[in-house]
Amino acid sequence: MRSRAVAYAGLMGSLGLLLAACASDPAFIAKDAPASSDLRSVLVLPANFDSSPGPLLTHGAELVESELRDYLVDRGYEVRSLRLSSVLAHWSAGVDDVGGTISDEDAKLSPSLYDAARREVARRALADDPADAVVMPTLLVRTGRVYGPHLHWDGVVREIPIDLKNTNVGITGMSGKAPGTSLRVSVYDARAVKIFERIVGLEPINMIEGMSQTRYRWDVRDDLFRDGPLLREGIVTSFEPWLAGPDPASE
């Protein structure tokens, strides 16, 4: 258990910049919703290109990006991409353009400079491959409120996985805070102007393990991002109301 606890500590540390940059972001903005009927082509950038997601989120970011692409294809859009190396070069240049710095640990940017650097990435990406919109998916760690066996955060309520190990832990009376994974979808138009952004909760990161009749502990789950339907639901919701209507896969 110690190795996973250490991994979790590393995860939170590596996402320090990302959490700070998102702390003041609204959970939802929409300057152009729903999407224009003229929308045909979408350029999807690699998930979390502007951060170090850490070992627990790296695989999840890959799954989110893949499922998000599939969703947009299912909706009938032409989905294109750029090489990660090109996007990382655009990110480095964008940070430099706004006066920030990138080191091995983090990028030291205020929220406003962070947004400006991401817009510069969108501008450069569109110069490489013109499209009607640029989509930037980002997997986040966000803090939620615990009420009994449920975690509330970013517009969702999820049940916290519980392994009581034949104990009788008083779960219903629990309260406090715990981390959850969330998906942020940011959309830029053909002029590299951000027109839509939404953050939606996905899954609690921790589980509860009963130790005795009166004791329990939190542990990092080993089954994150394995619930395909839940992941798809989060992606569909993260685009609403910019992309309105039911999920084509459900019809």
Q: Where are the beta strands (DSSP E) in the chain?
A: 28-30, 41-44, 78-80, 133-147, 150-153, 156-159, 162-163, 175-189, 194-204, 206-210, 216-220
d(CA 198, CA 179): 18
Q: Sorting pLDDT into bands at 50, 70 and 90, what band is 31?
A: low
Answer yes or no: are the C-beta atoms of 200 and 237 closer than 8 Å: yes
pLDDT tens profile 65-122 = 999 999 999 999 999 999 999 999 999 999 988 887 665 345 567 888 899 999 999 9
Query: What's the number of CA atoms in the CB half-sphere (13 Å) around residue 115?
Result: 15
- Kindly report, residue by residue over 144-156, the tens digit of the pLDDT: 999 878 999 999 9
CA quadruple 198, 118, 120, 98: dihedral sign:
positive
Residue-averaged pLDDT of the chain: 82
Q: Worst-scoring range by mean pLDDT, 35-39, 47-51, 60-64, 193-197?
A: 35-39
Overall pTM surpassing 0.85 (yes/no): no
pLDDT reported for residue 28: 56
